Amino acid sequence: MREGELPWSQLEQIGSAEWRLPPTGPMRVPGVIFGNRKIVEALDEKVFEQVANVAALPGIVKASYAMPDAHWGYGFPIGGVAAFDPDSDGVVSAGGVGFDISCGVRTLLTGLDVAAIEAVKRPLADALFARIPAGVGSTGEVTLSSAEMDAMLVGGGVWAVAQGFGDAADLERVEEHGCMPGASPECVSERAKTRQRKETGTLGSGNHYLEVQAIGEIFDPAAAAAFGLVRGQVVVTIHCGSRGLGHQVGTEFLRDMAAAAATYGIDLPDRELACAPIRSALGDRYLKAMRAAINCALANRQVLTHLTREVFSALLPAAHLPLLFDVSHNTCKVETHEIDGGTRQLYVHRKGATRAFGPGHPDLPAALRDTGQPVLIGGSMGTASYVLAGTIESAGLAFSSACHGAGRQMSRHQARKHWRGRAVVDELADRGVIICSPSARGVAEEAPGAYKDVTAVVDATARAGLARKVARLRPLICIKG
């Protein structure tokens, strides 16, 4: 691609950080890509192809969207958003949700300043690493019987709190109040349940982490005050999902949807876009299983929250760690949105994208309704993370959605060719960041340079009006899966 040339000649800039791909061929709606020119020009052409393919699916509404952190994914681009209308033969797509169902981020406040953490930094890092199971195949202290598994899949975070993992107050700061309705354990295979039997309360691998972070720059003092964010204080952020259960659910339903597409008269532009009509037996089973996997992820993050609080209580008794908020990405949720002057119930897929309700939204807790939903954007070991707030404008831009992180710019295989885990750990230690991980290979795959510039992604998100910047966080300790 020549310098200054856009990936596709028909791409039109329609805003300061918004680009339109007009519908051609089988596309039913346009594609919309958010990002500044540099971000858009750097996108793999596969991303544009996937945006166009999603736009060809039955029942899609308004557009097929890609957030500023978008990169190539399975079927949908990661960072992809699409909404479907069941009254127009809309579909639900397992590829549009992804394998790590309800992978998400929650941030806990500590009320402690950085000096308090620095005084116990190494013991705190060691204690968190010892207490928080991380890595491929990691198992925790929670082993679920069949009855307990089903109760967890129905109850999510509510179940976890009832078991003593956290406080009821936490649930007010979680999407769906900690429990996704409409889940059915009967739609989750025994294989998926077996994989999860000992994995509740574990980080897993990949880009998952637990990070102790210092609050740096404040961009919106009023929103920061409402969120409890004070410059120079410390927060803890947990990033993980539904572990083996969610992956198994995604794998099985992608297979079943791909096999059944033709029977529903669906011509898939890409087999990885496997889907089924929302109003079909297969679509209904997937939705019930996916919601159970969402509850699995919410329970997982709730248990990890409890373990984290225990570690802090032992070393820093003054810290109480109330929950700021918990947001999911990799979901499909039924939401009410304004379309053509009326309201419709839509099935909004967000794959590697975060819900970002604006001020006044009735689904937000009363304490956050004037400010808008906290949007938690994770960096990658050694890079900044951000707290944003949803905007009213985002509802019309992309169904109240925002980015979820920096987004990869290099595959894990490529990253291993560029970095060695030990060297990454040492380099970050020189910058004051302690990395604890069971896998040097995993650290290399998640090296900061393997990701886009998170600040550029966040700036583009804010410039587009999807969310507004509230605070910037810098890492102190990272427990890496």
**Residue at 462: amino acid letter:** A
* Class of residue 363 by CB neighbours under 10 A (exposed 0-12, middle 13-18, buried 19+): middle
Q: CA 13, 18, 24: angle at the middle one, nearest 5? A: 65
Please state, as a whole number, how many other Cβ atoms lie within 10 Å of the Cβ of residue 390.
Answer: 28
Contact at 8 Å (CB) between 300 and 238?
A: no
Among 329, 404, 413, 418, the active-site one is 404
3-state secondary structure (DSSP) of residue 286: helix
Vertex 82 angle, CA 79 and 88, to 5°: 170
Q: Are strands 467-480 and 342-351 parallel, antiparallel or unpaired?
A: unpaired
Nearest to 284 by CA among 255, 262, 263, 253: 253
Q: CA–CA separation, 447 vs 235, rounded Å? A: 22
Sign of CA dihedral 183, 158, 252, 194: negative
Per the structure block, which two tokens stand in for 328? 């999911």
Amino acid residing at 411? S
Alpha carbons 37 and 25: distance in angstroms, whole number = 25
Concerning whether 418 is annotated as a catalytic residue, the answer is no
Q: Please report the sign of the dihedral spanned by the C-alpha atoms of residue 246, residue 132, residue 480, residue 452.
A: positive
Residue 295 and residue 242 in contact, taking contact as beta carbons nearer than 8 Å: no
Give the whole-angstrom CA distance, residue 78 versus residue 321.
31
C-beta separation of 433 from 379 below 8 A: no
CB contact set of 13 (below 8 Å; sequence gap of 6+): 19, 20, 37
Specify which residues 108 forms β-bridges with: 236, 323
Cite the active site residues.
404
